[in-house]
Amino acid sequence: MKKATVILLSVIMTFGLFGVFASAENDSMMPVDIKAKSAVLMDQTTGTVLMRMNENEKLYPASVTKIMSMLLVAEAIDSNTIRLTDEVTASTNASKKGGSQIWLKEGETMTVDELLKATAVYSANDACTALGEYIAGSDEAFVTMMNDRAHELGMKDTHFDNCTGLDDTSTTHLTTAYDIALMSRELMKHRFIQQYTKIWMDSLRDGKTELVNTNKLIRFYEGATGLKTGTTSKAGCCISATATRNGTSLIAVVMGADNSKDRFEGAKAMLNWGFANYETVTPEIDKSLITNVNIIKGEEKTLTPQISGGSQFLIPKGKQKNITQEIDLAAAVEAPVESNQTLGTVTVKLDGKRLGEYKLTAPHYVEKLSFKTVFIRMICSICKPQQPISVN
């Protein structure tokens, strides 16, 4: 058991902490007391790490593994590869999974919606396995998909042996608090998943199978949106907890707590600290600073740039008044100009340090000047009435 030590809050609040933390260091930067082996607090919108403790230590994740399983399910649904109404038939393999389960029988059918609910709420290993087999064709193929997706997300210290997190016969089913935060952030981009992860109680089989969420924060923590707990003798008590308050969304990961209370209290402490000290803002760009761009040899003479994107930034509370903007915009560009072509940028700074930027782009396509247009402009110029000369 490792116990985080309190460090000066001023260290955390310095602007240098902004930007995604991806260091391999395992030293602590934890301003709250966490009784666990590792932990991390990440901003869901920007990926900024706000606190960390041994966040790159490889540990057993138990059922927190199912975040990756649910991510693949969510991606399959959003890509129309599968539908929530699809019926899935439980295999022999799925029906024989141990641990938490809804006691699927071989040959029993349930919809993707029902199996996803059982996975998200009750952490049912059989339901999770059935979903994986339905998507990939086999349990093994689904696990390969999980590892491939982990690699794509930059989860450098993760290897999955199965889709459930069962580790009684495994020595290589390992991940880190930081990697869990990465896949949690990716899952929460699929907004519909909260229809499942926010459920406290529900049922299946016409009310015969009751489901109670293993994540107690869903009931007792204001703004909780998910996400997944996990417990085994090897892993201890783990959680990836997500919550949103006043437009700020955070992910708190705790791994290797001795008991369930320490797991939940640790996650709550990190979330409370994050919400107390940070806020998410979307600065309004001062449009008076954006001038027209001249088009050289274009069918149009000028363009008014449009602001692309609506970037959000995480900043210490009370600092919004210190945000400034710098415009870098081309005075002229040569035709043709493509639609959405970048013409400049608006750099957003906090206390003089860069937060991020917006792009200033062309609102539409501008063709290169044609001979016809040149001729018409020339004639118009020649025929333009001359101003009379005043003689005093």
Q: Which residues have a catalytic role annotated?
A: 63, 66, 123
251 phi and psi angles, rounded to 5 deg? -125, 120
The secondary structure element, H or E, covering residue 52 is strand 49-53
Angle at 384 between CA 380 and CA 386, to 5 degrees: 160
Please list, residue by residue across 123-156, b when 16 or more beta carbons sit within 10 angstroms of its beta carbon and e when fewer do: bbbbbbbbbbbbbbeebeebbebbeebbeebebe
Q: What is the rounded distance in angstroms from the CA atom of residue 286 to the CA atom of residue 345?
A: 13
Other C-beta atoms within 10 Å of 246: how many? 8
Which residues does 134 contact at the CB level (< 8 Å), separation at least 6?
A: 82, 86, 88, 112
Q: What is the rounded distance in angstroms from the CA atom of residue 361 to the CA atom of residue 363?
A: 6
Q: What is the rounded distance in angstroms from the CA atom of residue 304 to the CA atom of residue 259?
A: 60
Look up tokens 């703004």; give the residue: 223
Q: What is the rounded distance in angstroms from the CA atom of residue 350 to the CA atom of residue 354?
A: 6
Rg, the chain, Cα only: 27
Amino acid at 140: E
DSSP string for residues in 232-290: ETTTEEEEEEEEEETTEEEEEEEEEESSHHHHHHHHHHHHHHHHHHEEEE-PPP-GGG-
**Eight-class DSSP state of 233:** T
Q: Is 106:92 a contact under the CB 8 Å cutoff?
A: yes
Amino acid at 217: L
As to burial, measured by CB atoms within 10 angstroms (0-12 exposed, 13-18 middle, 19+ buried), residue 234 is middle
85 phi and psi angles, rounded to 5 deg? -85, -5
Task: Tell me the CA distances in angstroms from 106 to 64, 94, 103, 351, one per residue in order.
Answer: 26, 8, 10, 62
Cα end-to-end span (Å), the chain:
99
